Structure 1
Amino acid sequence: MIEVNDIYKSFGDNEVLRGISANFEPGKISLIIGGSGSGKSTLLKCMVGLHEPNKGKVLYQKQDFTRLNFEERIPIRKEIGMLFQNSALFDSMTVEENITFPLQMFSEMSNKERIERANFCLERVNLEGRNKLFPAELSGGMKKRVGIARAIAMTPKYLFCDEPNSGLDPRTSIVIDELIQDITEEYNTTTVVVTHDMNSVMGIGQYILFLYQGEKKWEGSNKEIAHSDVEELNDFVFASPFMKIAKEKF
C-alpha cells in the first residue's frame, strides 16, 4: 500500500500540486491521468523521491518516505521498479547488461544468477534470445518490453510506469498494458501508471486518479468513469470522437 497524504509541490511561484491525497493498493493497477500541466508526472516523481514535496506525506506500508534521509530510503528504493517514458536504456549496454544493471547495484547475486534472472525476465516479456542485442537494434515496443524486464528484475513490490505507451502503435500498446496487468497480478505489485492513453484507462484502470490544474478532481474505476458528472473529467475523457461514440454504449 502506498498512501499519498495532502501533497503540495511548487517550483518557485508555480504551485503544481495542491493537496493531493490518494491510496494505491497492492495487486491493483492505479492510473494517474490528466491533461498536460495537470501535475501527474510531478506527483509520480514525488512518490519515488525524484522531487521533494513542500508539504504532505508519502507512506510506504505506513512508513513516511518523505521523512527519511538518503540512506534510510535505500531499502524502499530496492523494492521499486521504474519504467520511464523513453525506456531509459543504456545505449552502450546490451539488453542483458541493461537488465542485470540493477542486480549488480543492489543485489548480492553471482554473475550466473544475474544472467539466469535476466533470461527469466526476457522470457516473461516474450524477448527470449535477445540478450546480446543493443537498444539501437530494437523497435520502440521492444525497448519498452526490455524496460519492463529491467523494472521487474529485482521483483519489486512497487512498479511505477511513466507514459508506458507513449509513441507506440495501438496494437503494441495493448501488449504493454497486458504485460503490466499480468505482472501486477502475478507479483501482487502496487502498480502506478501515469498515462493519457484512454485505451489504457478503459482497459486496465482499476483505480483512476484524475488531476486538473494540480488538484484531485475525481477518483474511481474505469467502470465508473463514463458516468462521472465532473465537467473537467468528461472534457478530458470524451475529447475524441471515438470516446464520444463509446460513451453512448455505456
Structure 2
Amino acid sequence: MIEVQNIHKSFGDNHVLRGIDAKFEPGKISLIIGGSGSGKSTLLKCMVGLHAPEQGKVIYNGEDFTRMDFEARIPIRKEIGMLFQNSALFDSMTVEQNIIFPLEMFSEMSRSEKVDRANYCLERVNLAGRNKLYPAELSGGMKKRVGIARAISMSPKYLFVDEPNSGLDPETAILIDELISELTDEYQCTTVVVTHDMNSVMGIGDYILFLYKGQKWWEGSNKEIAHTDVEELNNFVFASPFMKAAKERF
C-alpha cells in the first residue's frame, strides 16, 4: 500500500498541491484525474521522489519515503516500475537494452538472465522478437509497450504510469489499458495511473482520485463516479455526449 498524507507542493508562488490525502491499495488500479494544472503529475512525482513536498508524507507499507535519504530509498526504488508520458526510451539503445537498463542498475543477474528477463517482458507486451529494433523504428503504441516492458523488468511491487494513452488511437489505448490491468493482477502491484482518458476511468478505475485546483475534490470507484453530484467532477468526466451516454449505462 502507498499512502500520501497532507502533501503540499509549490513552485515559487504557485501552490500546486494543497494538502492531498489518499491511499493506493495493492492489486488495484488507482487513477489520478483532473484538469490541466490540477496537480496530477506533480503528485505522482512526489510519490516516486522526483519532487520533494514542502509538507506531508509519502508512506510505502509503513515506511516514510519522504524522510529517507538517497541510500535508504534504494530498496523501495528497486520495487518501483514507471512508465513516463513520452515512454522516455533511450534513442541510442535497442529495445532489449532499454528493458535491461534497470536490471543493470539494480540487479545482480548474469547477462543471460537479463536477456531472458527482457525476452519474457517483451512476450508479456506482445512484442516478442523486437529486441534489436531502436525506438525510432517503433510506432507510438509499441513505444508505450516497450516502456511497460521496462517498467515490469524488476517485477515491481509499485507501478506508476503517466498518461499511458496520450497520442494513441482508441483501439491501441484500449489494448494498453487491458495490459495494465493484466499486469496489475499478475504482480498484485499497487498501480497508480495519471490519465485524461475517460475510457480508462470507466473501464479500469478501481479507485479514482479527482484533483481540482490542487485539492482532493472527490474519490471513489468508476461505478460511484457515475452517480456523483459533485459539479466539478461531472463537468470534467461527462463533458462529451459520448460520456454522458456512458453515464446512463451505469
TM-score, scaled to structure 1: 0.99
Q: How does 1:55-70 map to 2 (within 5 A)?
A: 55-70=55-70
Task: List runs of 5+ in structure 1 lacking aligned partners.
Answer: none
After TM superposition, give the deviation of residue 248 of structure 1 in Å: 2.6
Matches of 2:19 and 2:231, distance apart in 1: 20
What is the percentage of aligned positions where both structures have the same residue?
81
Moved more, 238-247 or 171-180: 238-247
Paired residues, what number? Answer: 250
Matches of 1:86 and 1:74, distance apart in 2: 25
Match of 2:146 in 1: 146
Task: List runs of 5+ in structure 2 lacking aligned partners.
Answer: none
Matches of 2:125 and 2:243, distance apart in 1: 30
Matches of 1:34 and 1:196, distance apart in 2: 7
Matches of 1:243 and 1:99, distance apart in 2: 36
Moved more, 100-109 or 237-246: 237-246
Q: How does 1:1-250 map to 2 (within 5 A)?
A: 1-250=1-250
Instruction: Tell me the SS of whatever aligns to 1:179.
Output: helix
Matches of 2:237 and 2:132, distance apart in 1: 42
Matches of 2:47 and 2:246, distance apart in 1: 33
TM-score, scaled to structure 2: 0.99
| Amino acid across the alignment from 1:21 | D
Instruction: Tell me the SS of whatever aligns to 1:223.
Output: helix
| Amino acid across the alignment from 1:78 | K
The two structures, once aligned, show a CA RMSD in angstroms of 0.6
After TM superposition, give the deviation of residue 35 of structure 1 in Å: 0.3
After TM superposition, give the deviation of residue 25 of structure 1 in Å: 0.3
Instruction: Tell me the SS of whatever aligns to 1:119.
Output: helix
Matches of 1:166 and 1:41, distance apart in 2: 14
After TM superposition, what 4+ stretches of structure 1 lie above 6 angstroms from structure 2?
none
Instruction: Tell me the SS of whatever aligns to 1:22.
Output: strand
Instruction: Tell me the SS of whatever aligns to 1:193.
Output: strand
Instruction: Tell me the SS of whatever aligns to 1:38.
Output: coil
